[in-house]
Amino acid sequence: MKLLPLLPVDTVQFSQSVRGLHFFGAMDMVLLERVLEGLELRQYAGGDRICVQGEEGDFFFVVRTGKLTVTTRRGGLSLARRVATLGPGDCFGEMALLHRAPRNATVSCATSSTVFVLPAAHFQGVLQRNPEFAKEIRDLAAARQAELDRRDG
Ligand code: CMP
């Protein structure tokens, strides 16, 4: 994994790229600046794992470029099953942060990918200050959980 320089153009792109979510909806400038202070842009190689099922979640992610796969295993020895593919504008890593629970899936890079990374504390700050985003991200997490439950059922 390589840290890329975060240019102003990238932060603008970040705010516009969270697909369908009003990340910066009603936020004030102080919070906006704090969020951008914590934001990183990382480059991963194909095959890298960004989130690992069962591990603690410290970050929220938004895909800038590339293709990623979401896989789960039911038990320690079972085969990993692909549940989704993610691309530019898609976010992930919200479930562990919302529920303060371990990662419920593994997210790996199918191709070389660049990903915006926001620390959990900054994510929680946005949740508290931006109710529109909080609702949208909870709805997204609930839909993803329903998909995981459906596959397990
Ligand atoms: P989290 O549990 O923090 O870490 C793994 C992530 O994979 C999870 O958050 C979601 O962001 C993502 N994820 C889990 N299930 C799905 C799904 N059905 N579709 C898309 N993404 C998912």
Of ligand 1's atoms, which has the minimum distance to the CA of residue 97?
Answer: 3
Of ligand 1's atoms, which has the minimum distance to the CA of residue 105?
Answer: 5
pLDDT at 30 over 80: no
Half-sphere exposure (Cβ direction) of 111: Cα atoms closer than 13 Å: 11
Strand 81-86 to strand 2-4: parallel, antiparallel, or no bridges (unpaired)?
unpaired
Instruction: Give residue-wise pLDDT tens across range 53-106.
Output: 999 999 999 999 999 999 999 876 788 899 999 999 899 999 999 999 999 999
Ligand 1 mean position to 96 CA, how many Å?
Answer: 9
pLDDT at 31: 72
- Continuous segment of H or E residues that includes residue 113: strand 113-119
Ligand 1: residue of 61, 62, 95, 127 to mutate (most ligand atoms within 8 A of CB) is 95
Within 6 Å (CB) of ligand 1, which residues are found? Answer: 51, 57, 70, 83-84, 92-96, 103-105, 107, 144, 147-148
pLDDT at 111: 98
Residue nearest to atom 16 of ligand 1 (CA): 144
Tokens of 126: 């946005």
Ligand 1 mean position to 148 CA, how many Å?
Answer: 9
pLDDT class of 17 with cuts at 50, 70, 90: low
